[in-house]
Structure 1
Amino acid sequence: MDIDFVVTWVDMNDPKWQEDFRKYSGRKGNTKNGVSEARFRDYGFLKYWFRGVEKFAPWVRKIHFVTCGQKPEWLDESNPKINLVSHKDYIPEQFLPTFNSGVIEYYLHKIPGLAEHFVHFNDDFYIINNVGVERFFKNGLPCDIAVFKYHPSWAQWYVTLKNNIKIINRRFDKKEVLSRDHDKWFHKSYGSKACWNYILKPYGKFITLRTPHNAQPYLKSSFEEAWAFAEKELMESSVNKFRSYNDYTQELFRTWQICKGNFEPYNTYIDTKMFPLMIKPKQAVRAIREQSYKLVCLNDNVHIRNYAQVMENIKDAFESILPEKSSFEK
């Protein structure tokens, strides 16, 4: 099967982007986190994302590089595997410009030429070791972990997850889903992470699922089906230029395809790891150098101490495993 990668990126040093950001970034109705520098700043590590893809996942058909019309100077857009995608190419004009990652992700299925099977990356997700097709897709279905997790209601991200679940509970009957796909929801590979599945098995409604913070495989048709069911809610929240409490997230589409049974059980925590750089910068550097995982997420935060030094250490780690230019670089 053809498998595409989709990666979303922003250059916050772009004067045009800065002008639009200042124009639209009033705090009213938005959370502080939704307009924080950490959400948009670029480490300068994007070239290592492309190097990792070329070296460790050469089987990818096409890379859809999604921005608000930006392009790094070093990127060779003539590479046949690259499709430069501007927000205006797939997001309805009335919702642009947008700085809301949720809205940018709602419409991914509208990207021109996107394959039915694709993997979505944020620009802080990196491939650092050999990864095969079977890491993301097996028997034509996304590989994923279907386990419940309780999330507190006070945090914005978790509020939006609960928004997703309201739609899921309107569409799917939990007892029916768990009965039909029992072996997928109670797969032995999940280990202790499936404890809430057993605890909540008698409970009649879905709660939020555990959300691995890393590259996510999708069927384009999962987006299309969810949109057909929840177009009103998704359109209404598309007006939010920054993250807001009535948003939905890409977890809606992930949970949708899990509830449809369109996934193969896979404990993604076996070979992926998220490192919050505020508290685990040394562990992140070590994991990259030693290639301890197939995929890592380097999670930024405005409170990172010695930010410049931390970034320099991570750059050196990337250089140790990906020193050569890729064909995506001029």
Structure 2
Amino acid sequence: MTAVSEHAVQQVPGAGGGRVPSGPAAAPRPAEPSATTLTAEHGDVYVEPGLTPLGAREANRSALAALLDTAGIAHFAVRGTSDHGTVVAVAEEDRERVLAAVFRGLSQYPGHLGVVDPDAPRPARPVSSRDPRAWREVSAARVLQASWSRTDPDRHLLLGHEYGCAIEFWQRHGTHLVAPRANRATWAVAAEGGNVLGAARLFSRFVSDWTPRHLAPALATRPEFLVHCADDIAFPVDAVYTWVDGNDPAWQRRKAQAKGEVYHAESASDARFISRDELRYSVRSLHLFAPWIRNVHIVTDDQVPEWLVEGLPGCRIATHREIFRNPDDLPTFNSHSIESQLHHIDGLAEHFLYFNDDMFIGRPVAPHAFFTPSGTARYFPSRNRIPQGPVAPTDSPVDAACKNNRALLEERFGRVITQPMEHIPYALRRSAMEDAERDFPEAWARTSASRFRAMTDLSPTSSFALYYAALTGRAQPGSMPFTYLQLAVPDLADRLGRLLDGRDQDSFCLNDAFSTPEDIEAQQELLDGFLNAYFPTPSPYER
């Protein structure tokens, strides 16, 4: 997955969203969009409105399946080892007809073809189907992979061969068909067996039972692939955001009228409450790169983002009034206070990811990045260290909360925490937060009642609940490629450019705690361009 530069555009009829039996069909859509192809160093790249990685994956699979169906060739889906692409199996005796069907499709709609050697240390580079070299070794290949590269209308994303569909030639041995390479379930299936429907999540860890069906439909497969493997994650995972629009006059009045002593300048910094529209793009990042999320819960102080369509399945507003157990704690302007109540969200899954609105998923990730198949949460310790000693007036709100976390956990478990957490979405267990609130009722209630950040706060989600879960056997340390970028840096444009060009981070955070009013306008222009380029596809929840 990368960016696409501008190139000459040529119109290609029929390569859009409708099903084209002999070409690269796209995911089903209400109406067929216009489509173009770019002839460039990338080969043929088809423009796809509403492009997502899963959409490209399914479009390649359905195109190849349509070619085989049109030719009357039996095939079934295989639980391959790649989460990005798909795999279909055909019988070796059908090779000649399979190759003829693939040749017809790639001749009408040029794409890429690769011969896959299961014994090679690394895969061979795909070759444009226009190039005769692409067809030289297909007559003996055990596995082929076909793809049609796609980009969004503004040429920001390029989803290429890794999202293609592999064709495996299975050989008949007695009463069984035997695979040419390993997959996630079995080496052989009954030769005369019939197909059954298999849930989409069986064929990619990027998919769950809650992924939209047009992106990941059930597939015709063999019963041997329907087993529940030890590394499958079948439990639901939700996402939770806390969000505030600091420019809302009603909210500003509530904040001005609130009674609470601010002990540290950072606690009431206006930068903490600025809405830069990050939430819209963070939700887009889930739509693009974590489509296995079941529900998105946006926690607000009776605010609704202007871009959000309310009432759609899969995304809802949860107000402070709904989740706070003590209404006297409201209004609050303290993220620690709000986070202490997240586990009270109605209908929240046991396993959930908590995002600040400045956190983003940077490329396709599986739920396994955040949870083990047994349900254990993963936390991501920082390279920094919590300062020694008790809370001091000179401590930042973050350090004060970490020290309070440390003192309580050491008293209860006899263990000393030394590291805060990285700014990576926090993988949480609802039951662990419920138990922590029950076991530390005074500290929890004190944090909930702090209208602004206070020296007595815990940091419930970003540290305390994670370590509590670890010390009670429900969490373990993990790692992932990520970037933390503070916006108030002089080389912001260069850093955003490197992040956009690389697209090699599982997650990133664009944090803003120290910007001045003079910084914000220049930053916003950079952010608008960056976020639109990184996440060009709107989520289903946008107006």
TM-score range, shorter chain: 0.7 to 0.9
Residue 348 of structure 2 corresponds to 114
- Quickly say closer, same or farther: Cα 1:14–1:289, change in 2 above 3 A: farther
Residue 500 of structure 2 corresponds to 288
Residue 445 of structure 2 corresponds to 235
Residue 181 of structure 1 corresponds to none
Alignment match of 1:36 (pick from 269, 274, 278): 269
Residue 252 of structure 1 corresponds to 464
| Mapped partners of 2:525, 2:305: distance in 1 | 20
Residue 24 of structure 1 corresponds to 258
Aligned residues with identical type, % of pairs: 30
Could you report, residue by residue, the CA deviation over 1:207-257 in whole angstroms, capped at 9, with x for unpaired residues? Answer: 332311121001111101111110012112322100010111121111101
Q: Is the 8 A contact 1:125 1:298 kept in 2?
A: yes
| Mapped partners of 1:17, 1:286: distance in 2 | 36
Residue 222 of structure 2 corresponds to none
More moved, 42-51 vs 159-168: 42-51
Q: Which segments of 5 or more consecutive residues in structure 2 lack a partner in the other structure?
A: 1-234
Alignment match of 1:50 (pick from 279, 283, 291): 283
- Quickly say closer, same or farther: Cα 1:315–1:128, change in 2 above 3 A: farther
Offset of 1:146 from its aligned partner? 5.5
Residue 209 of structure 1 corresponds to 419
Q: Are residues 1:171 and 2:392 paired? A: no
Q: Are residues 1:143 and 2:390 paired? A: no
Offset of 1:34 from its aligned partner? 1.0
- Quickly say closer, same or farther: Cα 1:326–1:156, change in 2 above 3 A: closer
| Mapped partners of 2:510, 2:383: distance in 1 | 24
Alignment match of 2:314 (pick from 61, 81, 94): 81
| Mapped partners of 1:16, 1:248: distance in 2 | 28
Residue 295 of structure 2 corresponds to 62
Offset of 1:155 from its aligned partner? 2.6
Aligned residue identity for 1:143: R
SS of the aligned residue for 2:267 comes to helix
| Mapped partners of 1:324, 1:8: distance in 2 | 22
Aligned residue identity for 1:207: I
Q: Is the 8 A contact 2:262 2:268 kept in 1?
A: no
Q: Are residues 1:319 and 2:319 paired? A: no
Offset of 1:25 from its aligned partner? 6.3
| Mapped partners of 2:420, 2:249: distance in 1 | 38
Higher relative contact order (CA 8 A, sep 6+): 1
Aligned residue identity for 1:256: Y
Q: Which segments of 5 or more consecutive residues in structure 1 lack a partner in the other structure?
A: 175-205
SS of the aligned residue for 2:240 comes to strand
Q: Is the 8 A contact 2:288 2:537 kept in 1?
A: no
SS of the aligned residue for 1:5 comes to strand
Aligned residue identity for 1:318: L
Alignment match of 2:509 (pick from 279, 283, 297): 297
Aligned residue identity for 2:241: V
Which structure carries more strand by proportion?
Answer: 2
Q: Is the 8 A contact 1:277 1:284 kept in 2?
A: no
Could you report, residue by residue, the CA deviation over 1:295-327 in whole angstroms, capped at 9, with x for unpaired residues? Answer: 111111224864322221222122223223221
Could you report, residue by residue, the CA deviation over 1:29-67 in whole angstroms, capped at 9, with x for unpaired residues? Answer: 432211111110011232211211111111100000110
Residue 7 of structure 1 corresponds to 241
Aligned residue identity for 1:82: C
Q: Is the 8 A contact 1:138 1:264 kept in 2?
A: no
| Mapped partners of 1:304, 1:297: distance in 2 | 21
Could you report, residue by residue, the CA deviation over 1:177-207 in whole angstroms, capped at 9, with x for unpaired residues? Answer: xxxxxxxxxxxxxxxxxxxxxxxxxxxxx03
